[in-house]
Every structure is written in C-alpha cells, then in structure tokens.
Amino acid sequence: MSQSLVTAVRIDVPDEILVGGRWRTGAGPVLEPVDPATGEVLARIHGASTADVEEAVAAGERAAADPAWRDLLPHQRARYLHRIAELIDANAEQLAGLQTANTGKTLTETRALVASAAGTFRFFAAALETHESALTPSRGEYLTMRVHDPIGVVGAITPWNSPIASDAQKVAPALAAGNAVLLKPARWTPLVALAVGRLATEAGLPAGLLSVLPGSGSEVGDAIVRHPGVGKVSFTGGTETGRTIGRYAAEKIMPVTLELGGKSPTIVFPDADVDHAVAGVLFGIFSSSGQSCIAGSRVFVHESIYDTFVPRLVEATQRLRVGPGTEPGTQVGPLVTVSHRDQVARMVDTARAEGGRVLCGGEVPDDPELARGSYYLPTVIDGLPNSARTSQEEIFGPVAVVLPFTDEDDLVVAANDTVYGLACGIWTADYRRAWRVGRAIQAGTVWVNTYKQLSVSTPFSGTKESGIGIEKGRQGILSYSRQKSIYFGLNERPLPWAGIG
C-alpha cells in the first residue's frame, strides 16, 4: 500500500480500480468521496462501468476455474487469507485513518473495525482449514456423503457505514470457499475497499480472484446482480435495495444473502442496573452517530422508572462529545454526507409534526468549528406512539425514540410491531425474564445486559424485512458454497432392475 495514504485530510490515492486482476483507471463516472468532517473532497477516482463488470466477471470465472486456485487444498488456500490479515494489521493505522476520513467515524471505532477485519480473515482461514464434509448415514448398498463446491463468481455489495468490516465479512468467507469475488463498495466510500484490494494484491492473491468495482448501485451494482456469470450475491444495505436485488435473484434462481435495515427495540425493565442501561442505550443508538443497522433506536422504558430514567438518559446524551472523528475523546462524529444529515433532520421534523417532544438535540450544532461538517446533535424524542412514522421507519442517524410500557406481554407485542427484525437489547436483573422476552422477540440477535457487541464466531442474520441468510460463524463459509451429495456404490452385483448378472 502507498506509504502515506492519509495525511490530515489529504489522501494520496491513485485513480485506479481493480478490474479482473489489473489496477487501472475505471471506465465509469468520476467519484469524489468527501470528508464528512470538513466537506472537502478526498480523492477523484473513476469508478467502474458495466464494461468493467463484464471484464471482472470473465476474469473471475477464469481465475476461479484455474487449477492453481481450484485445486488448492484448504490449508494452502487459507495462507492467502492469513497473509491478507497480516497486511491489514501492518497497515492498521492507515486503514483506520482512511475510514475515518471517508465516513466520519471516530478513530477509536475505525481502529476496532480494522482489527475486526483482520480477525475475520483469520477466522475464515481457520474455519476453512477445519471445515468438514460429512458422511451421511447410509440407507442402502452405497456410501453417502455431503461435500461443498465453490459457486464460482460471487458479488459482494456493501454499504457506506462500516466499509472494512462489511467488506471483510463477505470477501473472506467467499474466498475461503474457493470463489472469485466482485466487491462493490458504496459510491460515497470507495477508499477502504480499494485499499483492501491493494493489500490482497500485495498478499499475492492470484489475479482475477478479487475485483474492486466502486460505482453507483443503479449501474455497477445492478450489472453485478443481473450478470449471468455471477452465481451469488451477498448484499448489505437498505431494505428497498434488498427487495430489488431479491427480485432479480428470483429471475436468475440465484442464492442471495440480504443483510438489511432495522428499527431495533431496547427494553429497560425496572430492575435493570441503571448505569449499565444508560451506558448501553447510549452506545446502542449514538455510537457511529446512529448510522448502524443494529442501532437500538426504539427505547422501551418501564413506566415505573420512566420519570427517572429518561431525564438521566437525556442528561447523559447532552454530555456526549460531538466533533471530528480524528479528535481524541469524540463520541459522535459527523454523518456520512450533508444530504444524509438533512434527511435525518427531516425525520426529526416529522416527529415534531407527529406530536413528538424533542427532549434534547433535534438540530445541527451551533459550534462554528463544526459548521463545515455534516453534524447533527444526538436527539431523544418521546411522546409518540409505536405506530408513529418516527417509531417505525429507520432513520439511520443519532435519533432515539423513547416509549413507556407497563405489561410484559404488551411490550413484546409492541417491540415486534415493526417490519424489521434485526436486533434487540434487554436490560434486567431477572434472567428468567430475559430468557422469556429474548425468545419471544423477533430478531436475529438479542443482547441481554449489553448491546452492539459483535463477534465473527457468532452467526449474524436478520429476520422479517431485515434480511435472509446468515453471515459469520463457522458455517458462514456455507453461504458461499454449493452443497453436493455423492453416492458411492458398494454393491457386489449389478443393480437388479435390468436383470443382468
């Protein structure tokens, strides 16, 4: 990777993308990623065109079928993943700085994401080496077994909010399973994916196995999804985009993994440890400035503690330090773009129009030092029913809606009364209650007395309109494999039907 990829806000990135094993200028429109803390353009990069997608698919098909890759034994293929992990670690500060510059996230957070990306490559290297085919119980004169083949060329389409983590979460298991990957990062945040592409090249990954194709979803993303040579798409992003991709996948009869949006409930029972609950609720909704699929954006608080808990939450929210992600101590960075910030502000206006009370935040900060960035103050709103648009729609910003509840059964109904089913937080000292409620909530992940803790060794998935398919966990490799059953005949005589022998 280039020596100094990040110096303050000046980013020295060549105008090149990775197409089918070659670093070259993309044939698509110019992308101008912006530093959300300052509004400055970080780089000018020609994105991919549909012709670039064609070239990448053809190269991916060749590379995936090449015996030099196809015939590698698992422990041999795993070495490439280990090498990429080592290079991610070796370039951790540059990668974190790049991601902070391109997304506005704090350095504390991007450093953790970079470390987790390296961990993801290592985890899938280990999962690959220890992945077992199975002998299935025989029911006749044959030996039966289940094996897994690579799919071929896989599309990995990622959003802008946590680029390196989402990229690694798809690229590592897809390569581990023996595929070639077309990685399409979001238009606003192409820099980290390109940097990961450079590290994969440096790691000696055979040409064509990874293409990095930044560009718009409607052109580059669409071309990847619809290409007949792409055998699977793993997508993380908004529910509406996921629905569109799912439709095309149905036409091609192609498997998809869809990790989509959320509006996750966080529930505070009267016996909760209040310090833990306040800290957890704040982290759950305001870290990443609320730009997180698993953000705990609906906070249900038991009525018996509502009048003490909510003021504490508001007070703690007002103390959060808003500022550039590069400044030590910043907790809430800018939102990814000005247009996204304005969209969040419009949702808060909707909340006011719906009769909601804005208890804190609800505006851009008045600090002149932050005027050029796309900042929005952490916001707490109450006084709305669960049916309000603000309580139902994903805002993807630093906005929490607080709702009182009385009865546990009614609470479960209200918490599940959403099209989404991604995550849930439960704060209580009663583990029987935590178990009961946790099992009753429709969500892919439930946290009890903690929130937004994620581990690559534990599967991640959404239910309802939050998605289909599973990422992470040892079985994560299977999402990028085709299952095949093999029958080995053991009969001593010809099959009887033909009457021979």
Using the rule CB under 6 A, is 236 a contact of ligand NAD?
A: yes
**Which of the following is catalytic: 55, 61, 170, 424?**
170
CB within 8 Å of 319: residues ≥ 6 apart: none
Q: Which tokens belong to 446?
A: 């439930």
Give the whole-angstrom CA distance, residue 443 versus residue 466: 9
Site size toward ligand NAD, by CB under 6 A = 30
Could you tell me which stretch among 29-37, 235-243, 300-308, 482-490 binds ligand NAD (CB under 6 A)?
A: 235-243
The pairing of beta strand 445-448 with beta strand 423-427? parallel
Of 4, 133, 218, 406, the one binding ligand NAD by CB under 6 A: 218
Residue (130 or 458) nearer to ligand NAD, CB: 458
Give the whole-angstrom CA distance, residue 363 versus residue 373: 14
Residue 471 annotated in active site: yes
* CA-to-CA dists, residue 283 to 82, 125, 278, angstroms: 32, 31, 9
Residue 259 annotated in active site: yes
Alpha helices of 49-179 — where are they, by DSSP H? Answer: 50-65, 67-70, 74-90, 92-103, 107-130, 163-176
What are residue 30's phi and psi, to 5 degrees?
-75, 135
Residue (187 or 341) nearer to ligand NAD, CB: 187
Q: How far is the CB of 34 from ligand NAD (least distance, A)?
A: 15
**Which of the following is catalytic: 61, 259, 394, 465?**
259
Residue (119 or 323) nearer to ligand NAD, CB: 119
Q: How far is the CB of 268 from ligand NAD (least distance, A)?
A: 23
Give the whole-angstrom CA distance, residue 47 versus residue 32: 10
Give the whole-angstrom CA distance, residue 362 versus residue 399: 8
456-488 as b/e: b if 16+ CB within 10 A:
beebbbbebbbbbbbbbbbebbbbbbeeeeeee
Could you tell me which stretch among 129-137, 257-265, 346-354, 474-482 binds ligand NAD (CB under 6 A)?
A: 257-265
Residue (88 or 395) nearer to ligand NAD, CB: 395
Using the rule CB under 6 A, is 184 a contact of ligand NAD?
A: yes
Residue (150 or 217) nearer to ligand NAD, CB: 217
Of 269, 286, 396, 405, the one binding ligand NAD by CB under 6 A: 396
Q: Which of these, 271, 273, 269, lies nearest to 301 by C-alpha position?
A: 269
Is there a contact between 262 and 442 (Cβ–Cβ < 8 Å)?
no
Could you tell me which stretch among 155-163, 317-325, 359-367, 384-392 binds ligand NAD (CB under 6 A)?
A: 155-163
Of 84, 203, 260, 360, the one binding ligand NAD by CB under 6 A: 260
Q: Which residues bind ligand NAD (CB under 6 A)?
A: 157-161, 184, 186-187, 216-218, 221-222, 225, 236-238, 241, 244-245, 259-262, 293, 394, 396, 422, 462, 467
Active site residues: 170, 259, 293, 471
